[in-house]
Amino acid sequence: MARSQRLTHTGSDGSSPATRMRDAGYHPGYIAENIAAGPSTSGSAVRTWIDSPEHRDIILTCRYIDAGVGFANGRGGPWWTLDLATGY
């Protein structure tokens, strides 16, 4: 996202969040991904998601047991990713 300056769930290679998780060696069952651009701190990124009903529901859903956070500085950012999943 930081390189392309586009807020998107699709990777620069066309990959989905689930594909990127599998490529990293994680085998997801349920998955969700929250993304944000602009919040200057992790707390403000989480606040952005909590203030959005759809993103808040993702965070509060009890089906996810694993989490991964990504951060990158760059023009149009900082850029944030929160991946939530249940592996199998």
Paired tokens of 54: 């759809």
Calpha distance 38→29 (Å, rounded): 30
Calpha distance 44→4 (Å, rounded): 22
CA atoms within 13 A on the CB side of 26: 19
The pLDDT value given to residue 22? 96
Sequence spans of domains, the chain: 17-85
Give the tens place of pLDDT for each residue, 36-85.
999 999 999 999 999 999 999 999 999 999 999 999 999 998 999 999 99
The pLDDT value given to residue 3? 86
